[in-house]
Structure 1
Amino acid sequence: MSPDGLWSIGELAERAGVTVKTVRFYSDRGLLPEAGRSSGGHRRYGAEALDRLRLIRSLRTLDLPVSEVGRILDREEVLEDAIAGQLRELGSRMAALRWREAALQLLRDCTAAERAERLRLVGAVAAPPSTAALARFWRHVLPPRLPARLVSAILDAAVPQPPSDPSPSQVLAFARLHAFTSDARLGTDRCRPASRALDGGYRPAVLYDGLGEAYALAAADLRAERPPQKGEALDCFVAAHAGSRGVRDTPDFRQRLGSVLAETADPVVGRYWQLAGELSAAPSGPPEPTMGAAHDWLIAALEEQTAGPAR
């Protein structure tokens, strides 16, 4: 140090292992305060400037913007929020890279005849992909004026999230699902719950509340690989339909419900669940049951029960 205990800008830069231009840049932005000026007007820095400069460089190596670095230097508690923000951004970038890698593998490994269609499908999906089109599809399908908390619960269960580390086949399944739900020709298709075709009043909130519970019970049976059968899941399923009409669960009602369900199957929603099932398929192990798989299991259980004499 010079006799006054201060460093010139060149001396500080040399000790920090940076260029004079770097020191001047941070000084001009107020991140590196000067201790004074020489008689010739040159910048002078104290020993504390070296520690501060090293801290600035450490923060910058984390890709924190200069404005964020300034906030951290002024308030150390800001660092935790800044780190969390960087982790979120980095996670998003890594998810996008993993998605692009799987998409490129999908295009590399397909035949020449498949490549044009797959390129069109994959090219229409952002990286990382958005589920907005899928959510819009369900908002269109669901009956109007359902309670907001019920709509939110259905969307959480019905809209599959893209895997964070997808396989090429999962990229293709999501791209197909995205294209299907984005198709403008779906504008006139509506899901018509079976209870609408039954006698009496119709309360959709009662139906969808009960169906959510029935699907959860059926999913447990599916995970255990049980065949469709009578039991708590089926009873809950039928009760949801009966309750939405304000009628009792009787053998006759089950017979009529089974017939209506067979006649009112919605091919649009069926296609959605087919694609969602392909997306949930894992390289190893059984896929997580979708609401559609649970619905099919319950219909099969009802058909099994009503096939014999009514009891």
Structure 2
Amino acid sequence: MGYEAARQRSQGGGAASQSTASGGPEALDRLRLVRSLRSLGLAVPEIRRALDERGDADRALEDAVAGHLRTLGSQLAALRWRDAALRLVQESPPHERPDQLRLIGTVTVPPSTAPLARFWRAWLPPRLPSRSVTAFLAATVPAPPDDPTPAQVLAFARLNALTTAPCPGSARPQPEAHRAADARGAAVLYAALAEAYDLAAVDLRRDQAPGPGEALDCFVAAYTSAYGTRDTPGFRRLLARQLTADPRLDRYWDLVTEVITPAGGRPEPTPGSAHDWLLTALTDQTAA
């Protein structure tokens, strides 16, 4: 018997109600349904709401099951994270365990990317359009692995500590080349840089040495578009000097690489590694 039919029979009036009261087949159907849902972990209030729904009972059951699946997903993610963290402690030399436990203890379970997002929001220029901020965060904030290795747990914990530590000075080390743009120019700049980084990532995956090409031209065009200037050899030399002198976030991108790279896998390009590749190509070109 289907769920809807069982619900209707269990809630029917007259003879059906009398049959339920006397322990008839309707009551048995209802009891079996409750037992099945309880064996799957659904709470009694959820089951009661689904059984008492007078509209679309099947939809009510689907909603209850979907909510329980979300809860289970969060619980499983937390268990996988704890399992990898415990294996990290188990496998580490005794003298390293106190620092590792301190780092791991600062990360919520399951881990949250909110501290990383706050770090970048403080780094970005003010009044940047919200869709530009969203796109930027999607590219720069790595999602915690679904089934992490001990090394990935440690890398994410270090990344969390890096982004929550007090920043020396009064502001985040944003490149001067970025701070000079207004809000509109910054939005143009970051959108174009994302395209250049995607192009450079293709060359990185091919193990191609930094050099001239579409990726480098797109990289330079990101800055010329933001500042309304022309792409000339002189501008490229100036840009190379400025970007070389600007503060760097190498440690952040090194840790991101560890977080997103599976055990034994090939390191995936990040915006940081793509930027380094492009800056090397630009520096080599202007030096030549």
1:297 maps to 277
Partner in structure 2 of residue 5 of structure 1: none
Which residue of 1 is the match for residue 196 of structure 2? 214
C-alpha distance in 2 between matches for 1:262 and 1:235: 18
| Structure-2-length-normalised TM-score | 0.87
Check whether the contact 1:32–1:53 (CA below 8 A) recurs between aligned residues.
no
Which structure dedicates a bigger proportion of its chain to helix?
A: 2
After superposition, the Cα gap between the structure-2 partners of 1:197 and 1:130, relative to the gap in structure 1 and judged at 3 Å, is: closer
Report if aligned partners of 1:201, 1:246 keep a CA contact under 8 Å in 2: no
Inter-partner Cα distance in structure 1 for 2:151 and 2:36: 41
Amino acid in the other structure paired with 1:47: P
1:89, 1:112 → 2: CA distance? 35
Give the Å deviation of 1:274: 1.8
Higher relative contact order (CA 8 A, sep 6+): 2
Asked if the contact 2:128/2:183 (under 8 Å) is kept, the reply is no
Q: Check the 8 A contact 1:35/1:45 in 2, yes or no.
A: no
**Which consecutive segments of 4 or more residues in structure 1 shift more than 6 A?**
30-34, 197-202
**Cα contact 2:127–2:183 (8 A) shared by 1:** no
In the alignment, which of 226, 244, 268 is matched to residue 288 of structure 1? 268
Note if contact 1:142-1:191 (Cα within 8 Å) is conserved in structure 2: no
Percent sequence identity is: 53
Q: Tell me if the contact between 2:125 and 2:183 (Cα under 8 Å) persists in the aligned partners.
A: no
Equivalent pair of 1:201/1:244 in contact (CA under 8 Å):
no
Answer whether contact 1:140 1:190 (CA < 8 A) is retained.
Answer: yes
**Change over 3 Å in CA distance of 1:63–1:202 after alignment to 2:** closer
Q: Secondary structure at the match of 2:58?
A: coil
Change (3 A) 1:209 1:200: closer
Tell me how far apart the structure 1 counterparts of residues 103 and 94 of structure 2 sit (CA, whole Å): 15
Larger Rg: 1
Give a deviation string over 1:207-248, Cα, whole Å, max 9, x none. Answer: 112111111111111112211111111101101111111100
C-alpha RMSD over aligned residues: 2.4
TM-score, with normalisation over the residues of structure 1? 0.81
Q: Which amino acid aligns with 1:126?
A: T
Q: Does 1:279 align with 2:259?
A: yes
Task: After TM superposition, list the pairs within 5 Å mapping 1:205-244 onto structure 2.
Answer: 205-244=187-226
Q: Report how many aligned residue pairs link the two structures.
A: 272
Deviation, 1:281, is: 2.5
Instruction: Please list every run of 5 or more consecutive structure 1 residues that lacks an aligned counterpart in the other structure.
Output: 1-29, 38-42
Question: Retained in 2: the 8 A contact 1:254–1:306?
Answer: yes
